[in-house]
Chain A
Amino acid sequence: MEHQFNRNNPLIMHLDLNSCFATAYQQAYPKTRGKPLCIAAYDSPRGCIIAPSIEAKRLGVKTGMRVMDARYVCKDIIVRMAEYNLVRDIHTRLKKILREYSPSVVPKSIDEAVIDFSDVMTLYKKDLSEVGQDIKARIRNDIGEWISCSIGIGTNRFLAKTAASLKKPDGLEVITWANVRQIYSKLLLVDLCGINTRYQARLNSKGIFTPLQFLDAGMEYLKKEVFHSIVGYHWFKRLRGWEVDEVEFARKSIGQDYALGKKTADQQELAGILMKLCEKMGRRLRRMGYRAQGIHIGILYENYTYWHRARLMNEEMYATQELYRCALLVFNQQPEKKVVSKLSVACYGLTKQTSSQLSFFDEENRKTKLRSVSDALDSINNRYGEFTITPGNMVGMQDVVVDRIAFGGVKEIEDLYLN
């Protein structure tokens, strides 16, 4: 049966907000509507574009371009920096709307969600496409008239995502066993979610050049000849509409990174940035109720060389000071002090916080006191706002490591920003 295409009713819906950051901005500021607009990480010429508006996309502006390149493409493009809290609010409202339709809603990123209708479809007396149209209308009514989305429906997440990408903006497409060959025939290998140039090269080297050839390849061939692993089996099932991606990953690390606006080799300045990264990381660690055992530092230098090191500590870390001390220890192990363009820090070996036994020794008591102070500082920051009280070496760091939305990382949004 698994060798055949999944002929069940398509009950998985993938919803993707079109040009999310840009349309959110256009919703809030109507004077920018209907004009080419791009939202960039920084509005300086070398700033990276994170979301062009639908109008800008039509002119050829793409995500990942630099602002100066976008201006070559379109002289009058409006360049703005994102309003992250606005986008977070839209994400939360979207999730609330979707949960009214099904209890099984999985946000895949800030602008994407997967809704599983398997358990509730009997309650609806209409087709899933009509439910999709309802959702579109609700989004326009409850979030904003300028917000549009593309909806894809399929028997698994992969086909739903593929369907959602077929028509943008404002599309609604369904992929079933009946039309799948026709749809695959119009796509390239790199149009399939999960296949990029390297997998494409691998498939090409085994004589697979189109999604149809990929679909027709046998399971054993994909498993033993192409991917040399279980990945081949997963692709075999995925392409035929069977679910293989319904996996929840547990959190294994908490990290922060920062691409420096002004590249520097000044160790004091870098230590300040490291402190702020550790403070942000520590706040998240404590909020989630974890302690960490290890620290990882990654540094991208100006000459595009990369150095990283991880170290497992003897003791668990909880307070920002503990994290910073260990991070600095690892940071100082760099073989060369070069100009840094990106700095990242992560803690791993996470364990849930449990009450620890009181100790007779001074060192343990000192640590307990430090952690209590850390909790007290967190309470003050919760009450009066983020960074009301900061460590001394974070002075003058207001404009660095600013607020950002991680790609894909949406688990903490409701906890961190809205409650």
Chain B
Amino acid sequence: MSEHINEKINVVAVYNRNIKPHPFFPWRIKWQGREYLIKKITFWRKEKQGRDTVHVFYATDGNLDFCLEFNAELLTWTLKQIEDGTPIQ
């Protein structure tokens, strides 16, 4: 199942200059009262939304995959999408 969420969420993010290529990444996220511990960032990219730079992190906690957006201008985190890898849409 893949679901578009588009919801502002609470995130604990980490900056570790020794981690490449993305030293800044989400570590814990809280969504709908549950906490998820991010185990791996599977992909990171940035895009322009108007003049704002948005960092898009694809992350997984092992059970669920997340697409998270960090707006570097507004300093907000948005959960864009979740994916559990099942065929149901």
Question: In the complex, which residues 30-75 of chain B have their Cβ closer than 8 Å to any Cβ of chain A?
Answer: 40, 42-43, 45, 47-52, 56, 58, 60, 64-65, 67
Residues of B within 8 A of A418 (CB): 47-48
Contact A27 B83 (CB under 8 A): no
The smallest beta-carbon distance between B25 and chain A, in angstroms, is 14
The smallest beta-carbon distance between A413 and chain B, in angstroms, is 12
The smallest beta-carbon distance between B22 and chain A, in angstroms, is 12
Inter-chain CA distance A144–B79, complex, in Å, is 22
Say which residue of B84, B87, B89 sits within 8 Å of A76 (CB atoms). Answer: B87
Inter-chain CA distance A76–B87, complex, in Å, is 6
Residues of B within 8 A of A89 (CB): 45, 47
Residues of A within 8 A of B84 (CB): 31
Write the chain A residue with the least CB distance to B66.
A29
Instruction: Confirm or deny: A419 has a beta carbon within 8 angstroms of a beta carbon on chain B.
Output: yes
Check A78/B42 contact, CB under 8 A, given A30-B60, A383-B50.
no
Instruction: Confirm or deny: B86 has a beta carbon within 8 angstroms of a beta carbon on chain A.
Output: yes
The smallest beta-carbon distance between B86 and chain A, in angstroms, is 7
Contact B60 A31 (CB under 8 A): yes
Residues of A within 8 A of B49 (CB): 385
Interface bits A75-98 vs B (CB < 8 Å: 1, else 0):
011111000011001000000000
Residues of A within 8 A of B64 (CB): 31
Interface bits A18-61 vs B (CB < 8 Å: 1, else 0):
00000000011111110100000001000000000000000000
Residues of B within 8 A of A144 (CB): 42-43
Contact B48 A78 (CB under 8 A): no
Contact A30 B65 (CB under 8 A): yes
Residues of B within 8 A of A302 (CB): none
Say which residue of B50, B58, B86 sits within 8 Å of A388 (CB atoms). Answer: B50
Residues of A within 8 A of B52 (CB): 385
Residues of A within 8 A of B2 (CB): 29, 80
Contact B21 A78 (CB under 8 A): no
Say which residue of B21, B51, B67 sits within 8 Å of A382 (CB atoms). Answer: B51
Instruction: Confirm or deny: A412 has a beta carbon within 8 angstroms of a beta carbon on chain B.
Output: no
Contact B50 A29 (CB under 8 A): no
Inter-chain CA distance A140–B56, complex, in Å, is 20
Write the chain B residue with the least CB distance to A35.
B85
Residues of A within 8 A of B67 (CB): 28-29
Residues of A within 8 A of B21 (CB): 142
Residues of A within 8 A of B51 (CB): 382-384
Instruction: Confirm or deny: A417 has a beta carbon within 8 angstroms of a beta carbon on chain B.
Output: yes
The smallest beta-carbon distance between A71 and chain B, in angstroms, is 9
Say which residue of A27, A33, A79 sits within 8 Å of B43 (CB atoms). Answer: A27
Contact B65 A86 (CB under 8 A): no
Inter-chain CA distance A383–B58, complex, in Å, is 26
Contact A43 B85 (CB under 8 A): no
The smallest beta-carbon distance between A283 and chain B, in angstroms, is 14
The smallest beta-carbon distance between A65 and chain B, in angstroms, is 16
Inter-chain CA distance A382–B89, complex, in Å, is 34
Contact A27 B42 (CB under 8 A): yes
Residues of B within 8 A of A385 (CB): 49-50, 52
Say which residue of A28, A80, A417, A419 sits within 8 Å of B58 (CB atoms). Answer: A28
Write the chain B residue with the least CB distance to A77.
B87
Contact B83 A31 (CB under 8 A): yes
Residues of B within 8 A of A86 (CB): 43, 45, 56, 58
Write the chain B residue with the least CB distance to A80.
B2
The smallest beta-carbon distance between B69 and chain A, in angstroms, is 11
Interface bits A345-384 vs B (CB < 8 Å: 1, else 0):
0000000000000000000000000000000000001111
Contact A29 B87 (CB under 8 A): no
Q: B21, B45, B56, B84 — which one has the most chain A CB atoms within 10 A of its CB? A: B45
Residues of B within 8 A of A76 (CB): 87
Write the chain B residue with the least CB distance to A89.
B45
Check A384/B50 contact, CB under 8 A, given A43-B89, A78-B86.
yes
28 chain-A/chain-B pairs, Cβ below 8 angstroms:
A27-B43, A28-B43, A28-B65, A29-B42, A29-B60, A29-B65, A29-B83, A30-B40, A30-B65, A32-B65, A43-B89, A76-B87, A77-B87, A79-B87, A80-B2, A85-B45, A85-B47, A86-B58, A89-B45, A89-B47, A144-B42, A381-B50, A384-B50, A384-B51, A385-B49, A385-B52, A418-B47, A418-B48
Binding site for A on B (CB under 8 A): 2, 21, 40, 42-43, 45, 47-52, 56, 58, 60, 64-65, 67, 83-87, 89
Binding site for B on A (CB under 8 A): 27-33, 35, 43, 76-80, 85-86, 89, 142, 144, 381-385, 388, 417-419
Additional A-B contacts beyond A29-B83, A78-B86, A142-B21 (12; CB < 8 A): A27-B43, A28-B42, A30-B42, A31-B60, A32-B83, A76-B87, A77-B87, A86-B43, A86-B56, A86-B58, A417-B47, A418-B48
